[in-house]
Amino acid sequence: MSSGRVYRFGTAPEREANRLFVFLHGCGATAQSMIPIAFKFQARFPSAALVVPSGFAPGARGGEAQDWFPTRGLNVDNRAERVDAVLPDVEDLIRREQTNFGVPAHRTVLIGFSQGGTVALEAVKKLRGLAGAVVAFSAQFARLPQIGTRIDARIHLVHGEFDSVVSRVHAERAARVLAGLHVPVTLDIVEDLGHALTHRAISLGSLRLLQGIYERRRATLH
């Protein structure tokens, strides 16, 4: 399975990377489409190294566009199975970059839009200890976590109020289920937004991530 291009952006020369942010693009998009978003996150987290990989299903829509898993014939019944099939490759990619940058799993954040957000959510659900947090934009779990599921990551959900591709209902339901499992979770529904990433949505996602990091730090000091 080809993983395509991976774009890497280190910190400023005088800074050592103390966090790793991995950005997972949306369905039928490109890694390049996530680079401006990655830089917006780095503006708030200047010590974070950025990794922006391409999806594993090349040529999904011709040209450079890629998917993380095949979408032809995708439905509610086979979505979880298709995501599960790519999780070993996702784990290999993330572990390799953690080693490259010398950043541990608990300081790794997965940031995904749409299909990329689904992959990020499923990765921390299935692969415990892979990352410390997820920021999922306009995304949904392939299958909601079951009773007794343990998730070590903090999860921040950001969703458009008028998303007609992935209904906000998925995010609202996920937030309730995660809270019931005692997983630290935030949910922001962005007014007047469809299935898209805007400056407002990105700012909210990076702010919730920052707040979550401070909360965890404060908890460890007491």
Burial of residue 177 (CB within 10 Å: 0-12, 13-18, 19+) is middle
Residue with the larger pLDDT of the pair 4 and 112? 112
**Does 114 qualify as catalytic in the annotation?**
yes
3-state secondary structure of 11: coil
Q: Delineate the domains of the chain, giving CATH numbers in brackets.
A: 6-221 (3.40.50.1820)
Please say if 163 is a catalytic residue: yes
| Catalytic one of 54, 159, 163, 170 | 163
Query: Within 10 Å of residue 92's Cβ, how many Cβ atoms?
Result: 11
Q: Which pLDDT value is given to residue 24?
A: 97
Q: What percent of the chain has pLDDT over 70?
A: 92
pLDDT at 10 > cutoff 50: yes
The per-residue pLDDT for 2 is 40
User: What does the block give as tokens for 133?
Assistant: 């947090």
pLDDT in tens, 70-108: 778 777 778 888 899 999 999 999 999 999 999 999 999
Q: For strand 48-53 and strand 6-9, is the pairing parallel, antiparallel, or unpaired?
A: antiparallel
pLDDT digits (tens, 9 = 90+) for 63-74: 566 888 877 877
Band of the pLDDT at 15, cuts 50, 70, 90?
Answer: confident
Interval 176-180 mean pLDDT:
98
Catalytic residue among 114, 156, 159, 170: 114
Q: Does residue 156 carry a catalytic annotation?
A: no
Concatenating the DSSP letter of every residue in 43-90 gives HH-TTEEEEEEPPSEETTTSTT-EESS--TT--TTTHHHHHHHHHHHH
pLDDT, tens digit (0-9, with 9 covering 90-100), for 121-138: 999 999 999 999 999 999
Give the predicted TM-score (pTM) of the model: 0.93
**Cβ contact 115:68 at 8 Å:** yes
Nearest to 138 by CA among 177, 171, 103, 176: 171
Q: Which one, of 164, 165, 83, lies nearest residue 127 by Cα?
A: 83
DSSP assignment of 187-204: EEEETT--SS--HHHHHH
